[in-house]
């Protein structure tokens, strides 16, 4: 398989297995946990094993989707980074070996005679420089073209690096591979986001696989984790919150108050601060902290202040609503909870975007980061991940880096 998100893979998933849900339900019977892990366990060596490269299409799809299913438990964690990095290498290595990039999710077409005026070719490919060795000549050759719209959607480099003509971008093999990598990354995130919605329905197999991935990822990213501390729970980054949460924080009119403050803000802030990637839905606050000080000092005051910014102020108007906040945090209906009370009621998980749009459409004012996002918490985790990755890239430029 040359691209697990290409047309061939899509056809296989649909025609052979009946769709993604069906595929995920049969995978545990066909793919052992160790077998799925073979796709990532080589990363430290930097070299993709030959049997992984030579895997047949169906086996490739099953083992790849086994890993995707496991990531539904924690999108944007180090497990995702590990799986994405390893699999991007596997597929790009296969594309290199194939010698031709085709059948991928990026609609690349081969450049034909006459597409590029000879004068431009002479300059760009340096065709008159007969002293150039053949591999250098090959490196300069513009072999692929892609529609400009698709290109701009994916390309992160400078436009000056690329030859643009009549609505197309013309690319060398390396540039085409870079574009494919971006497309892989986007499709990968999209798939993990979609699976996040169905994670409660996934067989226990995926949770086991996720835990094993965590072990490999912690080992692989050891240096970074030691330098930066765990990405699990960390102080809130308000600037990375989704628009709906920012609107709730600013205070809302009376008809929206209870939903914005008690349902959305309380669940979002508590999970984002205490347990950003819960591996199960019935997690309790006492599973994540050893005392209530973070809740009392960092979460509750933010909720109370946002409530007081509402018109009329929520907690002045309805003082008993504080009990309801504790109830939504899982402590039962109380205003003097202890850690042991955690679990007396359900710790409400942030509602999905579709629910927010249905119940409080005024809160959903999507920005560009909301694309493909299904839950405000994944929006936040994604932005944290991107900011963290940028930090890592800067560190690498300065000579640091790991993995």
Binding site for ligand SF4 (CB under 6 A): 242-244, 353, 356, 364-366, 370, 373, 376, 379
Q: How distant, in Å, are the alpha carbons of 326, 342, 348, 370 from that of 290? A: 17, 11, 19, 33
Comparing CB distances to ligand SF4, the nearer of 229 and 361 is 361
Comparing CB distances to ligand SF4, the nearer of 206 and 379 is 379
Q: Nearest approach, Cβ of 13 to ligand SF4 (angstroms)?
A: 26
Q: Nearest approach, Cβ of 270 to ligand SF4 (angstroms)?
A: 17
Comparing CB distances to ligand SF4, the nearer of 288 and 353 is 353
Q: Nearest approach, Cβ of 370 to ligand SF4 (angstroms)?
A: 3
Burial grade of 228 (CB within 10 A; 0-12, 13-18, 19 or more): middle
Comparing CB distances to ligand SF4, the nearer of 259 and 379 is 379
Comparing CB distances to ligand SF4, the nearer of 59 and 354 is 354
Comparing CB distances to ligand SF4, the nearer of 289 and 370 is 370
Comparing CB distances to ligand SF4, the nearer of 127 and 359 is 359
Comparing CB distances to ligand SF4, the nearer of 62 and 248 is 248
Q: Nearest approach, Cβ of 255 to ligand SF4 (angstroms)?
A: 17
Q: Nearest approach, Cβ of 369 to ligand SF4 (angstroms)?
A: 8
């Amino acid at each position: 398989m040359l691209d697990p998100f290409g047309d061939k893979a899509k056809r296989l998933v649909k025609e052979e297995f009946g769709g993604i849900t069906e595929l995920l339900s049969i995978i545990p019977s066909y793919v052992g946990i160790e077998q799925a892990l073979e796709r990532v366990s080589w990363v430290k060596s930097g070299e993709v094993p030959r049997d992984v490269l030579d895997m047949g299409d169906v086996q490739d799809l099953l083992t790849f989707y086994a890993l995707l299913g496991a990531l539904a438990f924690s999108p944007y964690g180090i497990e995702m980074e590990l799986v994405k990095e390893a699999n991007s290498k596997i597929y790009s290595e296969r594309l290199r070996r194939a010698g031709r990039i085709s059948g991928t999710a990026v609609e690349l077409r081969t450049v034909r005679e006459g597409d590029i005026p000879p004068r431009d070719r002479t300059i760009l490919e340096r065709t008159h420089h007969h002293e150039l060795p053949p591999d250098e000549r090959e490196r300069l050759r513009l072999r692929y073209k892609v529609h400009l719209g698709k290109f701009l959607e994916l390309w992160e480099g400078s436009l000056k690096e690329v030859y643009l003509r009549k609505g197309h971008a013309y690319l060398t093999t390396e540039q085409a591979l870079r574009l494919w990598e971006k497309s892989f990354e986007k499709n990968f995130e999209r798939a993990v986001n979609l699976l996040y919605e169905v994670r409660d329905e996934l067989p226990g197999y995926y949770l086991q696989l996720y835990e094993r991935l965590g072990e490999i990822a912690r080992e692989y990213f050891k240096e970074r984790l030691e330098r930066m501390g765990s990405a699990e729970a960390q102080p809130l980054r308000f600037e990375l919150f989704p628009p709906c949460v920012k609107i709730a924080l600013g205070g809302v009119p009376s008809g929206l108050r209870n939903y914005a403050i008690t349902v959305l803000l309380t669940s979002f802030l508590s999970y984002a601060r205490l347990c950003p990637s819960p591996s199960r839905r019935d997690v309790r606050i006492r599973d994540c902290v050893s005392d209530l000080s973070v809740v009392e000092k960092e979460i509750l005051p933010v909720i109370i202040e946002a409530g007081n910014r509402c018109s009329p102020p929520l907690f002045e108007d309805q003082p008993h609503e504080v009990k309801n906040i504790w109830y939504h945090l899982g402590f039962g209906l109380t205003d003097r909870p202890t850690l042991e009370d955690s679990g007396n009621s359900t710790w409400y998980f942030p509602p999905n975007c579709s629910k927010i749009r249905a119940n409080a459409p005024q809160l959903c004012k999507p920005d560009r980061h909301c694309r493909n996002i299904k839950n405000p918490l994944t929006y936040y985790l994604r932005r944290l991940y991107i900011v963290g990755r940028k930090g890592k890239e800067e560190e690498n430029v300065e000579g640091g880096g790991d993995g």
